[in-house]
């Protein structure tokens, strides 16, 4: 993984300065140098392994795309003209004109967006920058405020000159009919990018879709996943939580076949569009993938003995009953390797305890620090059956 090590190198002494450090609840580690933050996260993860009696004799390496300017999407709240995050000292939104978490293009989109005067008090807003620099916004407002916005017209007309706009929980797209705005079905566009080795692959989804927070940090994640799967040639994989296919494609680059399991219909619509839009020479990947939609935390009908490896990136609640059929299989029928990616180390640790009981050992662990200056981090772990 020499290539990775180079990418993971960073200036340990760097410190990010923020004028809102004492007020904003967004970052927790601004008082530490970046090196100290990385050590803190590593120690915290090792301590968690100890608490859960998970033996790991290897080292944990922190891979980073840098201490700042990583994010390509932001989720802010609007409250009485202020646009930002909660304050540290009281339950009130702090107005945030600029943030060193944001990539420079996202910062400039935020500055432009902040000029809008909203005709109502409250709402949630996501801004996003796509891989080709395209701008997106998801306005998640109450129905009554959405109606106000559609009737007001000027704000939407101006926003649509700059960006793709999605509205409400159903993520509909406003369309001007010549006399009024109508809300039409969600649209899939290229809002994120994954990697098959050094080759970027466009991912279709919505501004409102789940994606990793940073295009740059995501390259590191894809390289780790791809590298691990390459070390098990021609494997048949099952994936939990494939979403829009961010890990699916790096995995498929090296695997024989992949069964994707995902609950969210709109994410899978994006993945389907991505597969249909693959360049000619990658079309062959379509024959290697099988997609299943369902609640796989409840039950899995697939037979784990048909797979060589498992790739999971679950939500906060972890894998739950997805693991039950694995536990019921005789040990020698269980897939030889298991790749676990999570930004919720506590639920991951609980699942890894169950995997340990199934005979899996932690072989390699990385932290990808895609949330620098905060207490959050992404863990990538490779487990192998003894």
Please give the residue ranges that form the binding site for ligand SAM (CB under 6 A): 210-212, 241-244, 246-247, 261-264, 267, 295-297, 313-315
Cβ(314)–Cβ(336) below 8 Å: no
Of 23 and 368, the one with the shorter C-beta distance to ligand SAM is 368
**Least distance in angstroms from the C-beta of 103 to ligand SAM:** 18
**Least distance in angstroms from the C-beta of 38 to ligand SAM:** 22
**Least distance in angstroms from the C-beta of 275 to ligand SAM:** 15
Q: Exactly one of 18, 27, 38, 343 is catalytic; name it.
A: 343
**Least distance in angstroms from the C-beta of 57 to ligand SAM:** 28
Distance CA 93, CA 57 (A): 44
**Least distance in angstroms from the C-beta of 102 to ligand SAM:** 20
Please, what sign has the CA dihedral across residues 292, 284, 282, 185? negative
Cβ(262)–Cβ(268) below 8 Å: yes
Of 24 and 310, the one with the shorter C-beta distance to ligand SAM is 310
* Annotation marks residue 343 as catalytic: yes
**Least distance in angstroms from the C-beta of 206 to ligand SAM:** 13
What residues are annotated to the active site? 343
């Amino acid at each position: 993984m020499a290539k990775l090590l180079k990418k993971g190198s960073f200036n340990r002494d760097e410190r990010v300065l923020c004028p809102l450090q004492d007020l904003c609840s967004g970052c927790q580690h601004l008082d530490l140098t970046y090196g100290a933050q990385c050590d803190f996260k590593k120690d915290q993860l090792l301590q968690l392994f100890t608490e859960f009696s998970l033996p790991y004799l290897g080292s944990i390496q922190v891979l980073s795309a840098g201490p700042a300017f990583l994010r390509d999407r932001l989720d802010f709240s609007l409250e009485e003209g202020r646009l930002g995050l909660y304050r540290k000292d009281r339950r009130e939104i702090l107005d945030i004109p600029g943030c060193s978490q944001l990539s420079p293009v996202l910062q400039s989109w935020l500055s432009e967006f902040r000029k809008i005067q909203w005709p109502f008090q409250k709402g949630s807003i996501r801004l996003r920058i796509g891989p080709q620099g395209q701008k997106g916004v998801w306005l998640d407002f109450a129905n009554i405020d959405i109606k106000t916005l559609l009737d007001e017209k000027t704000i939407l007309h101006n926003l649509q000159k700059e960006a793709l706009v999605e509205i409400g929980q159903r993520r509909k797209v406003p369309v001007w009919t010549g006399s009024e705005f109508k809300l039409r079905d969600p649209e899939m566009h290229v809002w994120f990018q994954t990697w098959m080795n050094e080759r970027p692959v466009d991912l279709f989804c919505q501004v409102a879709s789940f994606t990793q927070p940073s295009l740059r940090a995501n390259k590191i994640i894809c390289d780790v996943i791809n590298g691990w799967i390459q070390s098990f040639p021609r494997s048949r994989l099952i994936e939990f939580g494939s979403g829009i296919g961010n890990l699916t494609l790096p995995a498929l680059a090296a695997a024989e076949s992949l069964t994707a399991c995902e609950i969210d219909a709109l994410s899978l619509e994006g993945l389907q569009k991505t597969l249909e839009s693959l360049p000619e020479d990658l079309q062959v990947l379509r024959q290697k993938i099988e997609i299943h939609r369902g609640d796989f935390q409840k039950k899995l009908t697939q037979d784990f003995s048909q797979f060589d490896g498992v790739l999971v990136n679950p939500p906060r609640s972890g894998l739950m009953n997805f693991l039950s059929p694995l536990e019921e299989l005789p040990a020698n029928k269980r897939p030889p390797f298991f790749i676990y990616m999570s930004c919720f180390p506590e639920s991951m640790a609980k699942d890894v305890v169950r995997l340990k009981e199934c005979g899996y050992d932690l072989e390699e662990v990385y932290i990808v620090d895609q949330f620098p200056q905060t207490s959050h981090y992404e863990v990538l772990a490779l487990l192998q059956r003894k």
